[in-house]
A = this chain, B = another copy of it.
């Protein structure tokens, strides 16, 4: 059964509007922007969303999904833990020049806008951003744990700390890239991550395949 017309319109609104919210933030996005991007009038938009807040939340989830899909794809494309982690890093680095959604990493943008802002919408977005970030770090952590378990990697590292360091440096570098409009910062950060992962190889690598 194909999606109903309403669903299609709703999806259309979300997908066209998500870049606006990701680029300009919640406060910086007006319904005028929404109308211009979606091609609908206010009345039409409000049929599908109860409020600007709801629309912003849906747009955020959409952006998260797009980025999540790309990262997931990069992970499954790798065979070894090292490849998977490198893929994750490169996927995040693409936020610099070829982001899945214009405006770069939605978690970063939302986290910075929401961290001190009052109001229920910011609480909602922050909570969602936390979940997404926890999932991202958790994914990286799992890859490190897999690499250790399979014997591919050294076992004297803390997967969680390693994952947090990876994400931190990539997000920070992405911020730099976006500030200077120069993707090289993230790209070099990704390269550093890959180098780091290489340095974690066991001397006698007998690993052939990471689980999961």
Binding site for B on A (CB under 8 A): 23-25, 27-28, 102-104, 107-109, 111-113, 115-118, 126, 129-130, 133, 161, 164-165, 167-173, 175-176, 178-180, 185, 188-189, 192
Closest to A109 in B: B112
Closest to A188 in B: B161
Contact of A176 among B168, B175, B189 (CB under 8 A): B168
Chain A contact residues: over half helix, strand or loop, or mixed? helix
Closest to A178 in B: B115
Contact of A116 among B23, B129, B169 (CB under 8 A): B23
> For residue A164, which residues in chain B have a CB less than 8 angstroms away from its CB?
173, 176, 185, 188
> For residue A129, which residues in chain B have a CB less than 8 angstroms away from its CB?
179
Closest to A162 in B: B192
